Amino acid sequence: MKSAVETLEPTRVRLTVEVPYSELLPNIEHAYQHIGKDVSIPGFRKGKVPARIIDQRIGFGAVLEHAINDALPQFYREALVANEIIPLGQPEVDVTEAPVERTGDLVFTAEVDVRPEITVPEIDGLRVEVAPVDVTDEELDARIEALRHRFGSLQGVEREAAQGDYVVLDLVAKIGEEEVDSVSGISYEIGSGTMLDGLDEAVVGLGEGGTATFATSLAGGERAGEEAEVTVTVTGVKELELPELDDEFAQLASEFDTLEELKDDLRTSAAGGKVEQQAVEAREQLMTKLVESADFPVPASVVEAEVVRHLEGEDRLEDTEHREEIVPEITDALRRQFLLDVLAEQLEVKVSQEELIDFLVRMAQQYRVDPNEFVMNADRTGQVPVFVAELARNKALALALRKVEVVDTTGASVDLTPFIGSDELDAVQAAAVAAAQEAADAEDAGGLATEVAVDAAAVPHEETVDEAGDVEASVAEQAEVVVEKPKKATKAKAAKAPAPTED
């Protein structure tokens, strides 16, 4: 087979492929077999019809057409590999020549959009600035106040309700003379805005037994969105009593003995959250710098396909205004995707089986479905390679961040190792895994592994399903497996507390 490439546009090429008749013979033989199973010819059993009879009754042209249709995908893929072409979308194929009377070549062309030529900017020496980690006294005070509120207690009071109070309410909603909804004994924090518009203004100033009427739009039920007249009656007023800021509060709200220890922990926790924000900010800044420095076109047909898919998913295919809004967003997303794909190739990024399994399990938990079912659906719909590609892009950006100088706005160096790892840690982990594998091989060579396997097989046991193990078996062949462990970020402890209680 011979093939040649013609560049039609920066993002579109035409492949011309010439296939000698001899290379088409296996497909012709397969065509005879397939047709022979489907046709009924007197005197011959299905599947046993000779080729010459098929030629007489059906014609060699039909056989050749079947063979060409069967062979085109294979020859197209081989041409892509031979010419190092990365296609985007489906090709437009045109057969220009076909063998006649069992002689001559098969010649076809395939026009397809391709990933543009992308030169990734030099990463070494790049510098990005992020916000500093400093936790201000105001931020610390806000965290302490939030904790005090969570450990506060509600006390009944004999006065008119005010902002911040908790009230017990009865509500009746009417549209005209028809009562459409009612609730009794519902607790509500004035000012939270979690119920009906206008409720806050109506209850402020009302004491126990006070009543007010206001107009609002119903938030739920069969009449949601309709205007209604709501009558509210206050049956109780309570205020939130906050605990004193002392050592006793620290012991109540945390595992610490003193208030100062609790404050130090809250400050450390706040700082940890800011370090994580620094990692996110540094990642986004690096991505922006790379995109701004790499000028390349994005295939219009690929953008259009993504736009249509997006609009169909939202059932807004005819919404021209929304289309105009999302075209720039999708174009930018594709630009980033193409750039990260090239970066991943240059950095020789590999996605380990463990990383893929962890990702799939987390995705399944996010969607609240069984991990094995999630993996099976992903495999059936061809999504596993998409997940692998996305993981590779994320890893590529993390590896690139290792080569970048990250500082805060004061000029101080920022260590993102907990989030992006380091080459040194990778080397240590690789050595540990290699040593463990070597020990396992040595043990296996001594026969111990075989003995254990035989003993385990001989002992009756209940059949159990290991969730991670099943997922691993399902995806083992979907990703290029390398021996490495994903890095896990460490997070500072956060104090936990119950909601306000009533005394």
Provide the CATH number for the domain around residue 222. Answer: 3.10.50.40
d(CA 336, CA 331): 9
Using CA atoms, how far apart are residues 250 and 244, in angstroms rounded to an integer? 10
pLDDT tens-digit readout, 13-67: 999 999 999 999 999 999 988 888 877 777 777 767 888 888 888 888 889 999 9
What CATH number has the domain bearing residue 84? 3.30.70.1050
pTM listed for this prediction: 0.64
The pLDDT score that the predictor gives to residue 475 is 45
> Nearest-5° angle of CA 338, CA 341, CA 342?
90
What rounded mean pLDDT belongs to the chain? Answer: 84
Residues 357 and 289 in one domain: yes
For residues 43 and 102, membership in a common domain is answered with yes
Answer yes or no: is 146 within a domain. yes
**294 and 422 inside one domain:** yes
In terms of domains, do 87 and 131 share one? Answer: no
Q: Tell me if 412 is assigned to some domain.
A: yes
Do 304 and 162 lie in a common domain? no
SS (H, E, C) 322-378: HHHHHHHHHHHHHHHHHHHHHHHHHCCCCCCHHHHHHHHHHHHHHHCCCHHHHHHHH
Q: What is the tens place of the pLDDT at every residue in 315-328?
A: 999 999 999 999 99
16 and 132 in a single domain? The answer is no
**In this structure, are 136 and 283 located in the same domain?**
yes
> Does residue 92 fall inside a structural domain?
yes
Rg (CA), the chain: 34
Residues 229 and 286 in one domain: no
Mean pLDDT along residues 390-411:
92
Smallest CA-to-CA distance from 262 within 499, 491, 495, 490 is with 495
- What does the pLDDT read at residue 340? 95
pLDDT surpasses 80 at 488: no
Return the number of other C-beta atoms located less than 10 Å from residue 95's C-beta: 13
> Which of 113, 136, 168 is the endpoint of a domain?
113
Same domain, 159 and 198: yes
Tell me the residue range of the domain where 364 lies: 116-152+278-441
Number of compact structural domains in the chain: 3
393 in the same domain as 306: yes
CA distances from 296 to 112, 224, 225, 286 (A): 18, 49, 48, 18
Judgement on whether residues 137 and 171 belong to the same structural domain of the protein: no
What is the number of alpha carbons within 13 Å of residue 131 lying toward its C-beta? 14
Any domain includes 81:
yes
- Helix/strand/coil for 155: strand
Specify whether 228 is located in the same domain as 349. no
User: What's the pLDDT tens digit per position in 200-211?
Assistant: 999 999 999 999
Q: Are 46 and 35 in contact (CB under 8 A)?
A: no
Q: Is residue 88 part of a domain?
A: yes
174 found inside a domain: yes
Q: What is the pLDDT of residues 297-352, one digit of tens each?
A: 999 989 999 999 999 999 999 999 999 999 999 999 999 999 999 999 999 999 98
Question: Which residue, 441, 463, 490, sits at the end of a domain?
Answer: 441
Question: What does the pLDDT average to over 414-437?
Answer: 75
Q: End of a domain among 441, 473, 490?
A: 441
Q: Which pLDDT value is given to residue 481?
A: 32
What is the predicted pLDDT for the residue at 454? 32
